[in-house]
Structure 1
Amino acid sequence: MRRRAVGHSGLQVSRLGLGTLTWGRDTRPDDARALLRRFVDAGGSLVDTASAYGSGEAERILGRLLRSDVPRDQVVIATKAGFGIRDRERVVDTSRGALLADLRGSLRRLGTDHIDLWQLHAWGQAPLEESLAAIDTAVSAGDVRYAGVSNFVGWQTAQAATWQNAFPGRTPITSAQVEYSLLARRAEVEVIPAVRAFGMGLLPWSPLGRGVLTGKYRRGIPTGSRGAASHFSWFVEPYLEARSRSVTDAVAVAADGLDLTPAQVALLWVRDAPAVTAPLLGARTVAQLEPYLEVEDSTLPAEIVAALDDVSGGPNALRTAED
Structure 2
Amino acid sequence: MEQRHLGRTGLRVSRIGLGTLTWGRDTGEHDAAGLLKVFWEAGGTLVDTADVYGDGEAEYLLGQLMERLVPRRDLVICTKAGSLPDPERRVDGSRGHLLAALDASLARLGTDYVDLWQVHAYDPGTPLEETLQALDTAVNSGRVRYAGVSNFCGWQLAKAATWQLAAPGTRTRLAGAQMEYSLLQRGIEREVLPAAIDLGVGLLPSSPLGRGVLTGKYRHTTPTDSRGGSEHLAPFVAPYLDDAASRIVDAVATAADGLATTPLHVALAWVRDRPGVVAPVVGARNATQLTAALSVESLSLPDEICRALDDVSAPVHRYPDQDWSTL
Instruction: Give your verdict on TM over 0.5.
Output: yes
Alignment check: 8 A CA contact 1:150 1:176 kept: yes
Instruction: Give the letter aligned to residue 118 of structure 2.
Output: Q
Q: Which residue of 2 aligns with 1:223?
A: 224
Q: Which residue of 1 aligns with 2:234?
A: 233
Q: Give the Cα–Cα distance (whole angstroms) in 1 for the partners of residues 192 and 278 of structure 2.
A: 14
> Gaps (5+ residues) in structure 2?
322-327
Alignment check: 8 A CA contact 1:50 1:81 kept: yes
- Asked if 1:112 corresponds to 2:111, the answer is yes
Q: Give the Cα–Cα distance (whole angstroms) in 2 for the partners of residues 161 and 96 of structure 1.
A: 18
Instruction: Give the letter aligned to residue 182 of structure 1.
Output: L
- Asked if 1:271 corresponds to 2:272, the answer is yes
Alignment check: 8 A CA contact 1:309 1:315 kept: no
Following superposition, the deviation at residue 91 of structure 1 comes to 2.1
Following superposition, the deviation at residue 224 of structure 1 comes to 1.2
Alignment check: 8 A CA contact 2:268 2:296 kept: no
Following superposition, the deviation at residue 84 of structure 1 comes to 2.1
- Asked if 1:123 corresponds to 2:122, the answer is yes
Instruction: Give the letter aligned to residue 141 of structure 2.
Output: A
Q: How does 1:64-143 map to 2 (within 5 A)?
A: 64-86=64-86, 91-124=90-123, 125-143=125-143
Q: Give the Cα–Cα distance (whole angstroms) in 1 for the partners of residues 58 and 167 of structure 2.
A: 36
* CA distances 1:189-232 after superposition (whole Å, capped 9, x unpaired): 11110111111100000000011001011112110111111111
Q: Which residue of 2 aligns with 1:55?
A: 55
Q: Give the Cα–Cα distance (whole angstroms) in 1 for the partners of residues 250 and 17 of structure 2.
A: 26
Q: Give the Cα–Cα distance (whole angstroms) in 1 for the partners of residues 189 and 25 of structure 2.
A: 32
Alignment check: 8 A CA contact 2:114 2:143 kept: yes
Q: Which residue of 2 aligns with 1:199?
A: 200
Alignment check: 8 A CA contact 1:46 1:76 kept: yes
Alignment check: 8 A CA contact 1:55 1:84 kept: no
Alignment check: 8 A CA contact 2:186 2:315 kept: no
RMSD after superposition? 1.4
Instruction: Give the letter aligned to residue 204 of structure 1.
Output: P
> Gaps (5+ residues) in structure 1?
318-323
Following superposition, the deviation at residue 166 of structure 1 comes to 1.0
Of all paired residues, the percent bearing the same amino acid is 60
Alignment check: 8 A CA contact 1:46 1:75 kept: yes
Instruction: Give the letter aligned to residue 246 of structure 2.
Output: R
Alignment check: 8 A CA contact 1:51 1:102 kept: yes
Q: Which residue of 2 aligns with 1:185?
A: 186
Q: Give the Cα–Cα distance (whole angstroms) in 1 for the partners of residues 239 and 130 of structure 2.
A: 34
1:243 aligns to what SS in structure 2?
Answer: helix
Q: Give the Cα–Cα distance (whole angstroms) in 2 for the partners of residues 45 and 127 of structure 1.
A: 34
Following superposition, the deviation at residue 90 of structure 1 comes to 6.1
Provide TM-score, normalisation by structure 2: 0.94
- Asked if 1:19 corresponds to 2:19, the answer is yes
Instruction: Give the letter aligned to residue 146 of structure 1.
Output: Y
1:296 aligns to what SS in structure 2?
Answer: helix
Provide TM-score, normalisation by structure 1: 0.96
